[in-house]
Homo-oligomer: A and B are copies of this chain.
Amino acid sequence: MAPALKEQSVTARSTNTGEGSGAQDPHRDIPEATVARLPVYLRALTSLAERNIVSCSSEELATAAGVNSAKLRKDLSYLGSYGTRGVGYDVDYLSYQIAREIGVTHDWPVIIVGIGNLGQALANFSGFSSRGFRTVALLDAAAPMQGRTVAGLEVRPFADLAEIVAAEQVSIGVISVPATAAQDVADAMVAAGISSILNFAPAVLNVPPGVDVRKVDLSIELQILAYHESRKAAEADETVDNGSEEGITA
């Protein structure tokens, strides 16, 4: 599972017109936890489609997505009733509905700032360019990188950021620079008009309200694993120490 999914925006504009009646809201608000799983369902559906499966039950889709079926059905219920009782879901139809809800029926232009080892890997990552995103520019502040071609794109100077964002209507930026430079890059991105940032630098970013930041942090993930690994080791020791403790031994 992805890291804790708190963190996201402050955009929290209460769109709640609410007052008075139960009038249908313009946009249902989907729980954040559900939003984080929709892409997983979409991928599972794509995988089923590739195997020429046209229809599936909530149980099957849930298994493919790695969740339980109750959760899957509850999640899908926030989008609407796209299944057929007693039958299941049409793979293509549900795929489209989820893609539409996420907003990836058309491609989003994305820029990557920081073309070091990680930035190059991201630029080459096919998943980027396939599922709803198109890398339109690579930027780096270091002169040696500039002008080189990575993944078919020329690396351009960081100073061109604002110009590119405006020209290509970019609203999503990826930061893969060292931690010390991350805040400056974020500031420049926000100033240029970007309102969603995916941050790979191990640094806390300060951004104004209305800008979303998601963080991917390798060493944090490893440390979380280490914590549980430590406990496993401790438990094993304990079990050896006082062999019993558990009644089921019989």
Q: Tell me the A residues contacting B by CB distance below 8 Å.
A: 1-4, 6, 8-13, 15, 17, 19-21, 23, 26-27, 32-33, 35-40, 42-44, 64-66, 101-104, 108, 110, 116-118, 120-122, 124-125, 127-128, 130-133, 171-172, 195-198, 202, 204-205, 210, 212, 214-232, 234-235, 238, 245-248
Contact = CB atoms under 8 A, between A and B. Distances in A.
Nearest to A32: B4
B103 A219 contact: no
Given A15-B235, A132-B223, A212-B229, 9 more contacts: A1-B10, A1-B214, A4-B36, A10-B228, A20-B245, A39-B217, A130-B219, A172-B222, A198-B225
Nearest to A19: B235
Q: Which of A8, A23, A232, A234 gathers the greatest number of chain B CB atoms within 10 Å? A: A232
B223 A131 contact: yes
Number of copies: 2
Contacts of A27: 231, 234-235
A12 B1 contact: yes
Nearest to A118: B121
Contacts of A215: 1-2
A222 B1 contact: no
B35 A224 contact: yes
A180 to B, nearest CB: 10
A120 B118 CA distance: 8
Contacts of A104: 223, 226
A210 to B, nearest CB: 7
Nearest to A5: B224
A139 B181 CA distance: 32
B172 A246 contact: no
Given A11-B1, A218-B122, A204 B133 contact: no
Nearest to A125: B218
A230 to B, nearest CB: 3
A102 B227 contact: yes
Contacts of A102: 223, 226-227, 230
